Structures are given as C-alpha cells and as structure tokens.
Amino acid sequence: MQPIPRLRLTHKRGREITAYIIDKANMGVLAAADAAPLAIAMTEFRRMYEAHAAREDTVVFPFFKKAISKAQCSELSGKFEQIERQQFGGDGFDMAVDRIGKLEAAFGIADLSGFTAAPPRPA
C-alpha cells in the first residue's frame, strides 16, 4: 500500500481506537474482562502512532513544506489556528498540554526522571 493511503488508514484506525478507549473510560469502573482488550488496543495504538508520526515528520511534512510557499504556509497556519479555536474554544494545543499534565500528575508519571534510562553497563 502506498504511503498516503496507509497514513489515511492509520488516521481512521486511530479514531476507532480512540472512540473505543473513550467508550470504556465513560463506563466508569472497568470490568475485569475489558482490561486485557483495552490494554491491547492502547498498546497497538501506541505502536501504530509512533510509526505514523515518524513518517509524517520525516516524509510528509518536509515534502509538504517544500511544495508550498511561505505565504501559503502562513495562510494555512492561520486557518488551522482559527479551526482550533472553533473546535476547542481556545488554544487547543495549550489546553491539551495542560490537561495531559494534570493526567500525568494524577497517574504519578509527571516526573520524567522516573523514565530516564540507566547508563550503559559494560559486560
């Protein structure tokens, strides 16, 4: 499958998985039988997202930026900002960063030092 159709498919699948996670989260207490399928869905989403984001960052976005003028890029940036404010009622990125920070603190994962790899150890 060509890159663009594959990226579109991963966008679609990402929306499906996100809807599934939100549905489970809205249920309140998670049934034991739902834990494994939810964990699998989240793991698969992470795996898919990492590859997807890497492809966008290294192939799609650089190509796109070369294909349009600086004026067109600026115009699109303004349009995206306008859409963001309509969709989220403010700066969606800043709002998401704030919300994620609160979630990370609530789950006890806000301190990156807990995720820093140990130095390599000689054999």
Residue 29 DSSP SS3: coil
Give the closest residue to 49 by CA, choosing from 26, 24, 15, 77: 15
Q: pLDDT of 50-64, one tens digit each?
A: 999 999 999 888 998
Greatest distance between any 2 Cα atoms in the chain: 56
Query: Could you tell me the CA-to-CA distances from 104 to 14, 18, 101, 110 in Å, in that order?
Result: 21, 18, 5, 5
Tokens 């494994």, residue located: 36
Residue 27 has pLDDT above 90, yes or no: no
Report d(CA 26, CA 20) in Å as an integer.
Answer: 10
Give the closest residue to 82 by CA, choosing from 70, 91, 73: 91
The mean pLDDT value for 4-29 works out to: 90
Per the CB < 8 A criterion, the answer to whether 92 and 84 are in contact is yes
Q: pLDDT of 72-90, one tens digit each?
A: 999 999 999 899 888 888 8
* Predicted local confidence at residue 74, as pLDDT: 92
Give the closest residue to 95 by CA, choosing from 46, 105, 87: 87
Structure tokens belonging to residue 11: 């966008």
* Predicted local confidence at residue 33, as pLDDT: 85
Structure tokens belonging to residue 2: 């060509």
Residue 116 DSSP SS3: coil
